[in-house]
Amino acid sequence: MKRILSTAAVVLVAFLMGCGKDNPVKPMQPGPKYLPSSTPLNVLYNLQRAYTSRDSTGYDSLFAADYTGSSTDQSDNSQLTFSKSDEALHIQFLANQASITSIDLQFPPGLVRYTDLGDPPGWATVSTASMHLEINTSATSYAIYPNETIDFKFRPTMPSPGSPTDTTWHIVRWLELAP
């Protein structure tokens, strides 16, 4: 009887553990891959990845603590302002909406980084026209206007030991300019 119980226990353990290629336990899929935030353009790429995958941690890491954004409400032309905590709430809301079937964020090709003389020293600006943003649910599709211009303002942090260039960039301003 002991021999049967021992054999049964070994078979049960082997079954639960699996063996070789037949192991039923699959490794977790890695999250989205991000580029080092060593340039403003890398930060925008990371923004695209974090937003479309609804990665709240990755998304939050892209913004400076004193970040401010502005947008024009298309329904009444009023000016809206938002903070880093508003961005965090937004991405969390998107992540918690099971009705969202897809999010597509695409920047136009050929983005150029430049220095805006009205900004503090060291900042960089990337201006986008025709950025594509679409959020789809099973019933509705939301999109930004394709002729809207958005200025992203970036501030460097130096030194930044984890960065290949010793600089890490964060979004400090997001300005949506009405058409």
pLDDT digits (tens, 9 = 90+) for 27-57: 545 656 899 999 999 999 999 999 999 999 9
Residues 6+ apart with CB under 8 A from 84: 60, 63, 64, 65, 66, 67
User: pLDDT for 94-143, tens place per residue?
Assistant: 999 999 999 999 999 989 999 999 999 999 999 998 888 899 988 888 88
Q: Is the pLDDT of residue 175 over 50?
A: yes
Residues 6+ apart with CB under 8 A from 71: 79, 80, 82, 176
- Partnered with residue 70 across adjacent β-strands are 81, 175
Cβ atoms of 125 and 115 within 8 Å: the answer is: yes
Domains recognised in the chain with CATH numbers = 36-177 (3.10.450.50)
Query: 40 phi and psi, to 5 degrees?
Result: -60, -35
C-alpha to C-alpha distance for 133 and 103, rounded to whole angstroms: 8
- Strand ranges for the chain from DSSP E: 63-72, 79-83, 100-106, 113-114, 124-129, 132-137, 141-143, 149-157, 168-177
Most distant CA atoms of the chain, gap in Å: 87
> Quick check: helix, strand or coil at residue 165?
coil
List the one residue out of 46, 54, 50 whose CA is nearest residue 169. 46
* pLDDT band at residue 18 under the 50/70/90 scheme: very low
